[in-house]
A = this chain, B = another copy of it.
Amino acid sequence: MARIEDRGDRLIIWNGNETRRGALTPALYDAINTATKQAQDPQLRAIILTSEGGFFCAGGDLNVLIERQKLTEAERRDRVDLLQDLIRAIRACPVPVIAAIEGGAAGAGLSLALACDMIVSARDAQFTAAYVKAGLVPDGGLTASLARCLPRQLAMEMCLMATPISAERMQALGVVSHCTEPGQAFEQAMKMADKLARGPRQAQSRIRDLVAQAYDQSEAAQLDLERDVMAHAIGAPEAAEGISSFLEKRKPRFP
């Protein structure tokens, strides 16, 4: 149902639940949790989250969800927290995570996509906060992610009415980095991972955290944080190589 492909400098998480439009499975949870832990390995430089079979992820499996009605609220809370933990793992991952989307991302599938740092999408894919159609509310950090990328009015429309938003509109709004021809999102994500792999690993990891923090705290606090992180970065070997290579007009080989 899901597998991790290790390409040396990157991990590819394949959501293989083809017959159910990539609906969430325990196997996918395991793969994401394993890959984000494995990413501590200094050789690893990026994770690509993608799917086989033409649809990124249709969200929670409704056959599973309906069974949760029999649980106590505390038990349901624990179940939902497994998804929240997945999102926390993606957000805390030491390397950039790229979503490569074909077909569409719906419900918790949209939550997963928007938790990633960057998104590549086939031109014809749709982004749908489908929860409300099943009488549910968003989880998987979807509301946090929407608040960090879109106007409140559009986030409201998506969550209240499940209006599908096209990949091209998401690109125009700055949420999707690249729209590709159908079938080519993964290839484009690989190009982004190539570029990331040539860059400075430590700096990239600090940048992920800095950018995430910037949406969570005041401008004054963020200015202080940047100062501390930059004061550290500028003394590190990556900066020595990065700056030297610039001054010597050659390509950097980051340590």
A111 nearest CB neighbor, chain B only: B226
Q: Which of B69, B117, B159, B207 contacts A211 (CB 8 A)?
A: B159
B175 touches A154 (CB 8 A): yes
Q: Which of B68, B116, B133, B242 contacts A136 (CB 8 A)?
A: B242
A241 touches B135 (CB 8 A): yes
Chain B CB within 8 A of A27 CB: no
Contacts of A223 in B (CB 8 A): 84, 87-88, 141, 144
A203 touches B243 (CB 8 A): no
A226 touches B152 (CB 8 A): no
A159 and B244 contact, Cβ closer than 8 Å, known pairs A150-B151, A154-B174: no
Q: Which of B139, B148, B226, B239 contacts A69 (CB 8 A)?
A: B239
Interface stretch (choices A2-10, A35-43, A227-235): A227-235
B141 touches A157 (CB 8 A): no
B244 touches A139 (CB 8 A): no
B76 touches A231 (CB 8 A): yes
* Chain A contact residue count (CB 8 A cutoff): 107
A230 touches B148 (CB 8 A): no
Interface stretch (choices A12-20, A180-188, A193-201): A193-201
Shortest CB-to-CB span from A131 to chain B, Å, is 8
B150 touches A177 (CB 8 A): no
Residues of chain A in range 198-255 having any CB-CB distance to chain B below 8 Å: 199-200, 203-204, 206-208, 210-220, 222-224, 226-236, 238-244, 246-247, 252, 254
Q: Which of B84, B132, B231 contacts A204 (CB 8 A)?
A: B132
Residues of chain A in range 98-150 having any CB-CB distance to chain B below 8 Å: 114, 116-119, 131-150
Query: 14 new A-B pairs (CB below 8 Å) besides A132-B200, A133-B252, A135-B240?
Result: A62-B247, A66-B244, A81-B227, A84-B223, A96-B160, A118-B156, A132-B199, A136-B230, A138-B207, A142-B226, A143-B213, A160-B204, A160-B208, A216-B220
A-B contact pairs, 11 of them (CB 8 A): A62-B246, A80-B234, A84-B226, A117-B160, A118-B153, A118-B156, A134-B242, A135-B252, A136-B230, A137-B226, A161-B195
